[in-house]
């Protein structure tokens, strides 16, 4: 029964989405309040039904109902409860259900919280949301139904891919999807603006909270995914330029650009058309990400199972929304009233420069990710594009962005004073130079490392300088400083924290990639391996049993200058149901640096192959991500987003009468 | 500056950044792209020693031997030709004789492939797509590879 209820609820959600995608739109065109008012209850009911459907699937998983094919393929009855729960989305069908759950959640949130936006805009936005929802419900019901039954029901399931049996699965996919799908709201707002033929500063303010939420979730999702790959895969790497990772990085880059350019629109009513284009592109890239991961075009950890029909269906969705969105843009955007122009040296100018670098960086990632697919389709030649490609293309572009970054927030609107800003950044320059020199003297060798440290410190102290300047630290009495700090808009704190986080991440990346040490050796009990200031002694191996696996663990004693600092126990887990072995690495944090130990082959003579890494500053990579998300949160709590947009005077409103 | 000049300056700035990016991409394309080859390709195309390639196929059963200091030697085959591969380091969990593998590295003068990276993916049913295609092309694809991939085996 449970599975059937879930299936039926999803069908009802599809029916509601179809109503919601047509009726409010007709209402908005005809200015009929009653028809437009249909959007809110349908959006809420749609969410209720998808939520019901999702809860039903979860209960099939938690209750180990192997008569459901999807559960049979991805669950083992001995799994701990938390993993039974997360298995729900540890497969293609379930993860698509999570995708539409989040989509309908955002639709419902817009219906509830977007109280002070014009009725026609709200109705159109919700209708566009329903178009997206309807196509995805259709996709799930026709090609990826998680509720199909098996008869007779098997006694035991085939277990979840062991690599996914980790707490990371509980956090990474939901966060990533919140980010991907969150960008659908700005897409819907952009399409609605194009349909309505009007866009103004208030539009940017209305979109901003949704953008911020999506951006925060995507940032956290990418950061979390990177840490998960780092500790789970056992290679000690945290970013592989894998197409699937790139698929999440591309919407992040363009979404970040949109976050910045929307500010220009809000403050100066400029870059209107550019904003619309970015909003469409951001969600398009999210859809491309979904396509790359879900269609089976790529094979990776993330590609659960491939079915050609699914690929074709997702490709059709892609063409429909990206083609449709860009087509609508090409048709309607020229009719919108142009925004103002501005001086190149100004805050606006700096934000445009930011957009230029971010979109160019995204374009290089796009080429590197899709070129192999295109080449194979055209010539049959198979190539792989790896880290060296991205280091030489993405690297320099992003480095330029980082050099320019500290200048941006210090420039004033309309007309900035570059010399004045450079003077105020003198402290940051100095800190960066000292850092550069110190790391050159202390660590030397790869010249890239001191330069990277200098750049990271420049970004970090630049963010601190920004705040100090605003609150007048060291220039005014302390009481005034505190009063100013309290009165400073939260968005200013948000900007500083987000930039600070980026600098911290960069520092971690430089430390890990340039100064890391690696030992790959074979050891026998009693052997000692040294890395940096640490000695690691192999003591013994022993067996352990988990709920659905057995593992062979090895105990190592870690000493620093001869003094014991702890024990590390990496292991090899063997999952019987899938006859699969995973490597569980052992991590030991020393400040923000880490020792990383993972096991290789265990030989008959008792010797073990090990990988031992010393990873300096590695934790800063993810700590920076946390600080960036914190910045997003501060910005989200800004008062101006709560009070809502000021009502523009009728005469001043940038109304464009559609040429009909 | 007039409106027109400002717009021109902005467009010129944008285009110059894009041009630099295009140059970087072309430069990187020349140097850092790695072609995938099956053992037959390696023999037929006369791949030059020292050129960086990816070699994919099945690990020939019985060919794996271990030496000193984590060095291993095995053969990668596609049924028609086999190439000897040497590698030093830890092999991935899913590396097994008779299963698909992709190795990245260069050929030495004697025709031995020196791998610096060996990939076997994260799933027991996984057959690297390149390897599957190469096997099909050589006519050595066996249905049993596919059957492992297909749906559940019912009780």
- Residues of A with Cβ-Cβ distance to B69 under 8 angstroms: 521-522
How many degrees, rounded to 5, is the angle at CA A212 between CA B18 and CA A624? Answer: 75
**Separation in Å, CA of A149 to nearest CA in chain B:** 13
**A555-564, pLDDT tens digit by residue?**
999 999 989 9
Q: Give the pLDDT score at A17.
A: 97
- The answer to whether residue A491 scores a pLDDT higher than 50 is yes
Stretch A84-94: mean pLDDT: 92
Domain boundaries of chain A, sorted by first residue: 1-164, 166-359+397-404, 405-515+619-627, 517-615
pLDDT at B126 (0 to 100): 47
Model confidence over A610-647: pLDDT tens digits?
999 999 999 999 999 999 999 999 999 987 776 555 54
Chain B residue at shortest CA distance from A356:
B14
Question: Mean of the pLDDT values across residues B30-59?
Answer: 86
Contact (CB<8Å) A360/B21: yes
Decide if A155 and B128 are in contact by the 8 Å CB cutoff.
no
Return the pLDDT at B1: 61
- A271-284 residue pLDDT tens: 889 999 999 999 99
Instruction: With cut-offs at 50, 70 and 90, classify the pLDDT of residue A310.
Output: confident
State the architecture of B35-149 in CATH terms: Beta Barrel (2.40)
Whether residue A326 has pLDDT greater than 70: yes
CA atoms in the 13 A half-sphere facing the CB of A192: 30
pLDDT(A654) > 80 = no
Whether the per-residue pLDDT at A212 is higher than 60: the answer is yes
- The percent of residues above 70 in pLDDT, for chain A, comes to 94
H helical segments located in A31-117: 33-36, 39-62, 69-74, 81-87, 92-113
Report the residue of B2, B4, B24 to disrupt the A interface, i.e. the one with the largest count of A CBs within 10 Å: B24
Mean pLDDT, range A476-481, rounded to an integer: 88
Which one-letter DSSP state was computed for residue A339? -
Beta carbons of A580 and B124 less than 8 Å apart: yes
Average pLDDT in chain A: 89
Q: Would the pLDDT of B150 be above 80? A: no
Confidence band of B95 (pLDDT split at 50, 70, 90): confident
Task: Give the pLDDT confidence score for residue A476 in this predicted structure.
Answer: 83
Confidence of residue A305 (pLDDT cuts 50, 70, 90): very low
Find residue B66's DSSP bridge partners.
B72
Residue B151 confidence (pLDDT): 34
What ipTM score was computed for the predicted complex, to two decimals?
A: 0.79
DSSP A176-243: HHHHHHHHHHHHHHHHHHHHHT---HHHHHHHHHHHHHHHHHHHHHHHHHHHHHHHHSSS--S----H
pLDDT for A148-197, tens place per residue? 999 888 989 888 888 888 888 889 999 999 999 999 999 999 999 999 98
Res B122: pLDDT: 46
Q: Tell me the two tokens of residue A260.
A: 């910045």
Chain B residues inside the 8 Å CB shell of A364? 21, 24-25
Which residues in chain A are contacts of B36 at CB distance < 8 A? Answer: 382-384
Q: Using the beta-carbon criterion (under 8 Å), do B6 and A343 form an inter-chain contact?
A: yes
Q: What is the pLDDT of residue A659?
A: 41
Give the pLDDT confidence of B63-88 residue by residue, as tens digits: 888 887 788 999 998 888 899 999 99
Torsion of the alpha carbons at A12, A13, A18 and A19, rounded to the nearest 10: 80
The SS3 of residue A55 is: helix
Instruction: Indicate the DSSP class of residue A321.
Output: I
Contacts with A352 from chain B: Cβ below 8 Å = 10
CB contact under 8 A, A300 and B89: no
B129 → chain A, closest CA residue? A299
User: CB-CB: which of A72, A384, A520 is closest to B90?
Assistant: A520
Task: Out of A264-268, A497-501, A543-547, A655-659, pick the least confident.
Answer: A655-659
pLDDT digits (tens, 9 = 90+) for A566-608: 999 999 999 888 778 888 999 999 999 999 999 988 877 888 9
* pLDDT number for residue A26: 94
Give the pLDDT of residue A644. 54
| Residue A458 pLDDT exceeds 90 | yes
Cα distance between residue A233 and residue A228, in whole Å: 8
Query: pLDDT at residue B131 above 80?
Result: no
Taking an 8 Å cut-off on Cβ atoms, the answer to whether B123 and A300 are in contact is no
Nearest-by-CA chain A residue for B154: A154
Contact: A581, B94; criterion CB under 8 Å: yes
To the question of domain A166-359+397-404 being in CATH 1.20.120, the answer is yes
Q: Residue A546 pLDDT > 50, yes or no?
A: yes
pLDDT tens-place string over residues A235-267? 888 998 988 889 999 999 999 999 999 999 988
User: Which residue from B6, B31, B126 is facing A341, i.e. has the nearest CB?
Assistant: B6
User: Where is pLDDT greater, at B91 or A398?
Assistant: A398
How near does any CA of chain A get to the CA of B57, in Å? 14
Tens-place pLDDT, residues A53-71: 999 999 999 999 999 999 9
Q: Which residue of A has its CA nearest to B31?
A: A389
- Phi-psi category of residue B142: left, alpha or beta, with phi > 0 → left and psi -120 to 50 → alpha: beta
Q: Could you check whether the bond before residue A287 is cis, i.e. omega within 30 degrees of 0? A: no
pLDDT tens digits for range A418-455: 898 999 999 999 999 999 999 888 876 678 889 999 99
Neighbours of B109 (CB within 10 A): 7
Taking the alpha carbons of B147, B151, B152, B154 in that order, is the dihedral positive or negative? negative
- Cβ-contact A570, A543 below 8 angstroms: no
CA A235 to each of CA A182, A293, A582, A600, B119: distance values in angstroms, whole numbers, following the listed order:
32, 22, 12, 10, 11
Dihedral sign computed on CA atoms, order A285, A291, A296, A302: positive
Chain A to chain B, count of Cβ pairs less than 8 Å apart? 122
What pLDDT score does A147 carry?
95
Contact A520 B21 (CB under 8 A): no
Q: What percent of chain A has a predicted confidence (pLDDT) above 90? A: 63
Residue A658: predicted pLDDT: 42
What average pLDDT does range A280-305 have in this prediction?
73
Position with higher pLDDT, A337 vs A74: A74
Contacts of B35 in chain A (CB under 8 A): 381-383
| Lowest mean per-residue pLDDT among A183-197, A327-341, A455-469 | A327-341
Judging contacts by C-beta atoms under 8 Å, the chain A residues touching residue B32 are 385-386, 388-389, 392
Q: Nearest CA to CA, how far is A260 from chain B (Å)?
A: 17
Tell whether the model's pLDDT for residue A655 goes beyond 60.
no
- Percent of chain B with pLDDT strictly greater than 70: 77
Task: Delimit the domains of chain B by residue range.
Answer: 1-27, 35-149
- So what's the pLDDT on residue A330? 92
SS (H, E, C) B45-107: HCCCCCCEEEEEEEECCCCCEECCCCEEEEEEECCCCEEEEEEECCCCCCCCCCCEEEEEEEE
The predicted structure's pLDDT at residue B145 = 47
């Amino acid at each position: 029964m449970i599975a059937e209820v879930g299936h039926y609820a999803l069908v009802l959600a599809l029916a509601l989405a179809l109503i919601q995608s047509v009726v409010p739109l007709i209402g908005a065109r005809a200015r009929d309040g009653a028809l437009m008012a249909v959007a809110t209850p349908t959006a809420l009911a749609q969410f209720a039904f998808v939520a019901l459907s999702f809860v039903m699937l979860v209960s099939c998983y938690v209750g180990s109902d192997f008569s459901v094919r999807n559960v049979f393929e991805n669950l083992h009855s001995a799994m701990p409860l938390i993993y039974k729960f997360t298995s729900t989305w540890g497969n293609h069908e379930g993860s698509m259900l999570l995708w539409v759950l989040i989509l309908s959640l955002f639709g419902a949130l817009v219906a509830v919280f977007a109280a002070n936006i014009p009725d026609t805009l709200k109705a159109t936005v919700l209708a566009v949301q329903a178009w997206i929802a309807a196509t995805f419900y259709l996709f799930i019901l026709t090609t990826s139904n998680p509720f199909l039954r098996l008869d007779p029901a098997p006694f035991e399931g085939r277990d979840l891919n062991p690599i996914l049996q980790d707490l990371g699965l509980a956090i990474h996919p939901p966060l990533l999807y919140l980010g991907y799908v969150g960008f659908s709201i700005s897409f819907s707002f952009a399409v609605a603006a194009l349909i309505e033929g009007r866009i103004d500063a208030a539009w940017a303010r209305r979109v901003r909270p949704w953008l911020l939420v999506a951006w925060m979730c995507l940032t956290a999702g990418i950061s979390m995914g990177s840490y998960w790959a780092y500790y789970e895969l056992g290679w000690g790497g945290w970013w592989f330029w894998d197409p699937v990772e790139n698929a999440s990085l591309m919407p992040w880059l363009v979404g970040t650009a949109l976050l910045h350019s929307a500010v220009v629109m809000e403050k100066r009513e400029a870059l209107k058309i550019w904003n619309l284009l970015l909003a469409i592109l951001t969600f398009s890239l999210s859809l491309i990400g979904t396509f790359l991961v879900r269609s089976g075009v790529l094979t990776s950890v993330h590609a659960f199972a491939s079915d050609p029909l699914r690929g074709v269906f997702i490709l059709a969705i892609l063409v429909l929304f990206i083609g449709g969105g860009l087509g609508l843009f090409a048709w309607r955007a020229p009719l919108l009233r142009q925004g103002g122009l501005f001086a190149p040296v100004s805050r606006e100018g700096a934000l445009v420069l930011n957009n230029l670098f971010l979109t160019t960086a995204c374009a290089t990632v796009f080429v590197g990710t899709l070129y192999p697919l295109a080449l194979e389709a055209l010539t049959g030649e198979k190539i792989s594009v790896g880290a060296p490609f991205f280091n030489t293309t993405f690297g320099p572009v992003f480095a330029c962005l980082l050099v320019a970054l500290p200048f941006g927030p210090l420039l004033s609107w309309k007309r900035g004073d570059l010399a004045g800003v450079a003077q105020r950044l003198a402290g940051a320059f100095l800190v960066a130079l000292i850092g550069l020199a110190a790391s050159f003297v202390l660590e030397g060798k790869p010249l890239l490392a001191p330069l990277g440290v200098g750049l990271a410190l420049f970004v970090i102290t630049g963010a601190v300088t920004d705040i100090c300047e605003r609150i007048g630290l060291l220039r005014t009495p302390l009481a005034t400083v505190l009063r100013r700090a309290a009165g400073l808009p939260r968005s200013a704190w948000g900007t500083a924290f987000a930039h600070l986080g980026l600098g911290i991440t960069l520092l971690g990346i430089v430390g890990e990639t340039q100064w890391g040490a690696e030992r790959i050796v074979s050891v026998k009990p009693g052997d000692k391996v040294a890395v940096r200031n640490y000695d690691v002694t192999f003591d013994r191996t022993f067996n352990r049993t988990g709920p659905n696996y057995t593992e062979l663990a090895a105990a190592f004693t870690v000493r620093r200058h001869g003094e014991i600092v702890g024990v590390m126990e990496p292991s090899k887990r063997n999952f019987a149901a899938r006859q699969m072995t995973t490597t569980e690495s052992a991590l030991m944090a020393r400040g923000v640096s880490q020792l990383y130990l993972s096991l290789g082959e265990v030989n008959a003579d008792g010797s073990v192959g090990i990988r031992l890494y010393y990873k300096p500053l590695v934790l800063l990579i993810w700590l920076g991500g946390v600080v960036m998300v914190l910045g997003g949160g501060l910005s989200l709590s800004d008062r101006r987003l709560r009070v809502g947009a000021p009502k523009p005077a009728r005469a001043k409103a940038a109304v464009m009468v559609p040429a009909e | 500056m007039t409106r027109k000049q400002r717009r021109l300056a902005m467009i010129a700035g944008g285009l110059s950044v894009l041009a630099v990016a295009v140059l970087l991409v072309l430069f990187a394309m020349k140097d850092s792209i790695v072609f995938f080859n099956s053992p037959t390709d390696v023999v037929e195309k006369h791949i030059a020693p020292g050129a960086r390639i990816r070699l994919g196929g099945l690990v020939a059963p019985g060919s794996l031997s271990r030496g000193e200091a984590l060095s291993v030697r095995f053969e990668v085959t596609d049924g028609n030709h086999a190439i000897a591969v040497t590698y030093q380091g830890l092999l991935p969990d899913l590396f097994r004789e008779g299963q698909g593998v992709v190795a990245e590295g260069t050929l030495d003068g004697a025709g031995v492939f020196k791998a610096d990276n060996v990939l076997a993916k994260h799933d027991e049913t996984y057959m690297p797509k390149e390897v599957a295609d190469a096997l099909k092309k050589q006519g050595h694809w066996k249905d049993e590879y596919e059957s492992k991939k297909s749906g559940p085996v019912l009780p």
